[in-house]
Amino acid sequence: MSEHLIQNPILPGFYPDPSMCRVGDDFYLITSSFELSPGIPIFHSKDLAHWEQIGHAVTPENGFEMECNSFRGGVMAPSIRYHKGVFYIINMNFSQGGNFIVTATDPAGPWSKPHVLPDVPGIDASLFFDDDDKCYIVSTGMIVNPEGRKERGIWCQEFDIENFCLLGERHDIWNCALHDAPSPEAPHLFRKDGYYYLLIGEGGTEHWHAVSFARSKNIFDWYEANPANPVLTHRHFGYTHPIANVGHADMVELDDGSWYAVMLASRIIGGAYKNLGRETYICEVTWERGWPIFAPGSGQVEWTIPAAKSLPWTPYPEKDPKDDFDSEKLDMTWVFWGVPYQDFWRVEDSALKLKCLPRALDRKIKRMARGSGPRTPQLPPRDDCAAVVLRRQQHVSFDATTKLSFTPEKNETAGLIIMQANNNQFRLELLQEDGQQYVRAVEVSTKSDLPPFHPNYDPITTNTEFARIPWQGGDVVLQLKVRGQQHDFYVGTDEENLQLLYAGADGRNINIEVDGCMVGTCLGMFASANGDESANEAAFDYFTYQGVEPEGEWWKALD
């Protein structure tokens, strides 16, 4: 047995829908980013255990377009493949309503401008390069099964990789393992031992999620289902199992013939809540009698697995938990909510400075456009940015601290924010009312019986002020301590003199399950003029994020 263990999740925090490829001795992995910008983070590894971010595939520099609205829109379920010196990423952009491909010869970038694919419908599309160099796309949509019945499923078609267009006829190749299973998606094709193998996710991306397999001797024939399907799922473990939502996988073969798969899953906090969102995990894959065995011996995603003996154990230096903003550029850890079209941020004098933009962070969410077919692109408005800089929550428990220099006027606020989708957020902010400055803790929650892409989506947003204290001006240190679902807010002139402002804000209130756990919690810094025009700005001297080992059985149901 290997002397080293891979720790799951390999990408903790809001890194869902992983896709992976191997090029020689190097492994590259990408994930969804939804409405975060830059988008589609790219990671590199030598050993499948340690992953270092090397870039983003879609950025303002290569013409990426995306709005900030529901947090659940944007780009999701990308797929990465490599062929003859070129990396290809195919993805759907829900802000514009169509699939696209970006390419690069260096996965760290630069990546090409998006090649829009108006003739490629469906979500979760993936590229496959056959042994004869022909390229194919597998994607999702309405198909016709061999009995003539229309249903959701997977189709395949040849693709002209030079001109970025489909060739020939479309072929419906499979539906799913479970009869009428919802959401057959995330297809990937592989070739092994004379068969084409089709891997898909099905059952939806929440509790019933699963990985299934089918195969065919001919790429365009109807595929034969694996009799052992699903090959991986945790739905039979119940709702309180600490790792849930397992599905949406991709695989690579190592030089020694062994296989590994990455997949998304969620850590459960308190028996039901997925604050961290969908994260990236890994398991070993073996082959028996022509079919893959995921996580052989246990059949489930484990917290640790033995590292591959054939790969060199290659850890990367741990990042400093404190960012002093001493570099001219923001670290890749930091992302914006939506493309930062407006000039509202800069790193200067060892501080991150954010302009108070008019947009309020509790503004009512617009209905999200939905449709996987080609549509006339709807470019996001350039004057509707949110002055927010975020990073992903990666631990069940953590401390986050920032030092703010800000003199608020009128309706202006700035401070620390932790948020999930759909206006579910806590803020610890500095504001001014009637000439007096205050620090306050606020909860914003949004309720809706419908998801944001439903035609009748009309959410109700509620603001609750937990507590406030007068502030006499000058720099203020803001701190958030999270222990599972308990969120405590501290304030002071420095970290040695912090006082508790409010204890026990319930993290369940900013973790929406009714609309699904598509995204995960992010936290960071913000500034807003809350509807007014302003030239004022807030300066953040540093930001510290420090994970804390959770105590007790944090995954069990809360009282």
Per-residue pLDDT of 103-160, as tens digits, reads 999 999 999 999 999 999 999 999 999 999 999 999 999 999 999 999 999 999 999 9
Question: What is the enclosing helix (H) or strand (E) of 144?
Answer: strand 135-144
pLDDT at 371 over 60: no
Task: State percent of the chain over pLDDT 70.
Answer: 96
Q: What's the pLDDT band for 373 if we cut at 50, 70, 90?
A: very low
Q: Cβ neighbours of residue 390 under 8 Å, at least 6 residues apart? A: 36, 334, 335, 336, 337, 417, 419, 522, 523, 524
Is 295:284 a contact under the CB 8 Å cutoff?
Answer: yes
Q: Give the CA count within 13 Å in the CB-facing half-sphere of 71.
A: 29
Cα separations in angstroms, 266 against 107, 356, 414: 27, 35, 31
Is 428:487 a contact under the CB 8 Å cutoff?
Answer: no
- Residue 376 confidence (pLDDT): 47
Cα separations in angstroms, 65 against 31, 62, 97, 331, 378: 18, 9, 11, 21, 9
Express the helix, strand and coil content of the chain in percent, nearest 5 each: 0, 50, 50
Q: What's the pLDDT band for 398 if we cut at 50, 70, 90?
A: very high
DSSP letter (8 states) at residue 334? -
The amino acid occupying position 88 is Y
Is 33:74 a contact under the CB 8 Å cutoff?
Answer: yes
The amino acid occupying position 359 is R
- Residue 559 confidence (pLDDT): 62
Please tell me the pTM assigned to this model. 0.96
Is 487:418 a contact under the CB 8 Å cutoff?
Answer: yes
17 an active-site residue?
yes
Q: What's the pLDDT band for 370 if we cut at 50, 70, 90?
A: low
Mean pLDDT of 356-379: 69
Mean pLDDT of 252-258: 97
pLDDT at 516 over 90: no
Query: Of 172, 185, 323, 515, which one is the catalytic site residue?
Result: 185
Distance CA 474, CA 514 (A): 42
Is 419:525 a contact under the CB 8 Å cutoff?
Answer: no
Distance CA 17, CA 74 (A): 14
Q: What are phi and psi of 293, to 5 degrees?
A: -115, 115
Find the largest Cα–Cα distance for the chain: 76
Q: Which residue from 528, 543, 531, 533 is spatially nearest to 406, judged by alpha carbons?
A: 528
- Given the structure tokens 């068969």, which residue do they identify? 195
What tens digit of pLDDT does each residue of 183-205 get?
Answer: 999 999 999 999 999 999 999 99
Q: Exposed (0-12), middle (13-18) or buried (19+): which is 232, by Cβ within 10 Å? A: buried
Distance CA 292, CA 231 (A): 8
- Residue 545 confidence (pLDDT): 98
The tokens for 485 are 């679902």
Task: State percent of the chain over pLDDT 90.
Answer: 81
Q: Which residue from 415, 434, 502 is spatially nearest to 465, judged by alpha carbons?
A: 502
Q: What's the pLDDT band for 550 if we cut at 50, 70, 90?
A: confident
- Residue 420 confidence (pLDDT): 87
433 an active-site residue?
no
Q: Which residue from 287, 482, 326, 283 is spatially nearest to 397, judged by alpha carbons?
A: 482
Mean pLDDT of 333-351: 95
pLDDT at 374 over 50: no
Mean pLDDT of 521-538: 96
Is 507:273 a contact under the CB 8 Å cutoff?
Answer: yes
Is 124:115 a contact under the CB 8 Å cutoff?
Answer: no
The tokens for 261 are 């798969």
Cα Rg of the chain, angstroms: 24
- Given the structure tokens 């990789």, which residue do they identify? 161
Distance CA 432, CA 205 (A): 43
Distance CA 393, CA 11 (A): 11
- Residue 293 confidence (pLDDT): 98
Is 77:39 a contact under the CB 8 Å cutoff?
Answer: no
